[in-house]
Amino acid sequence: METVRIDLHCHSSASDGDHSPSHVARRLAEIGAIWASLTDHNTVAGQDEFRRALSRYGIGYIPGVEIDARSPLGPLHILGYNIDIGHPALLTALEAVRKPLRSSFHRLLGRLHPAAKNGREPVTGCVPDPSTRKGSLSTARAICLIHEAGGIAFLAHPLESLGTFKRLEEALDFLQPQGLDGLEVFHRSYPEGVRFALLALAVRRGLIPSGGSDFHGLHHSDGATPGVDVPRGEWNKMLKHLVREELAVPRVALDKPNLWYRQP
């Protein structure tokens, strides 16, 4: 089966990753990725640097974020793609929920000198969520904010978060009425059988599949290697939902891996 290599779930030092956004872009180029999205936790601070670096390597760019949210089934992570990274309501909400995750040193500083988060969120079409100022967002509000910012919302690493397909079905029963658009299916840590079981679930429920590695860097026990291989047919379907026309790159970058690092 012909595949393409992408990564729509990776992290930089703008949140809890080991490396700068430009270094993450370079690693993706080295492994032959052709499309990528930086999905730092609760921040879009690294997007501009990441986009500029990807453009140097001829890799397609999709704006992204990963929002830590709460639900009756426990904490869940919601990925947002194609968002307007300057959307005021989204930026305000992300600032309110963001934790100092940049590194172990920053986490320590954050505990020693917690920053107070004050101020009111601007009025939006989303249902008000009073707990935002307490450091969390509901899944409903996270999804709504992603939609307001022009994006589409996906459930990240569903089996890490929920453990079993039964609990995942329960979560989707809860999330889809809130507007969930897709499901992270082609996760690097999942064996092929699990990926295709998740794909079948996504198709049955009318959800868009996505894929990524959850790359954080070499110092993390999980997400230490970027990139995931996706069947070309599935990727072509995903592109229609994930990529805005103005972000498209030359056709050569869609059809074959970036081989810049092998060239003299």
The DSSP secondary structure of 62-81, one letter per residue, reads: --EEEEEEE-TTS-EEEEEE
pLDDT tens-digit map of 195-210? 999 999 999 999 999 9
Q: What is the CATH number of the domain that holds 46?
A: 3.20.20.140
pLDDT of 128 reads 67
Average pLDDT, the chain: 84
Domain assignment of residue 141, given as a range: 3-262
In which residue are the tokens 């390597």 written?
A: 57
Residue 177, classified by CB atoms within 10 Å of its CB into exposed (0-12), middle (13-18) or buried (19+), is exposed
pLDDT of 98 reads 77
CA torsion 144→95→212→153, rounded to 10°?
A: 0
pLDDT of 168 reads 97
pLDDT of 102 reads 38
Q: What is the largest CA-CA distance in the chain?
A: 56
DSSP state, 164?
S
Question: Token pair for residue 79?
Answer: 């990925």
pLDDT tens-digit map of 33-63? 999 999 999 999 999 999 999 999 999 999 9
pLDDT tens-digit map of 91-105? 999 999 875 343 333
| Beta-carbon-side half-sphere exposure of residue 132 (alpha carbons within 13 Å) | 25
pLDDT tens-digit map of 162-181? 999 999 999 999 999 999 99
Q: What's the rounded Cα separation, in Å, for the pair 124 and 184?
A: 27
In which residue are the tokens 């290697």 written?
A: 225
Contact 149, 143 (CB under 8 A): no
Residue 53, classified by CB atoms within 10 Å of its CB into exposed (0-12), middle (13-18) or buried (19+), is buried
**Domains held by the chain: number:** 1
pLDDT tens-digit map of 229-261? 999 999 999 999 987 654 444 333 444 444 333
Higher pLDDT, 252 or 124: 124
Q: What pairs with residue 48 in β-bridges?
A: none
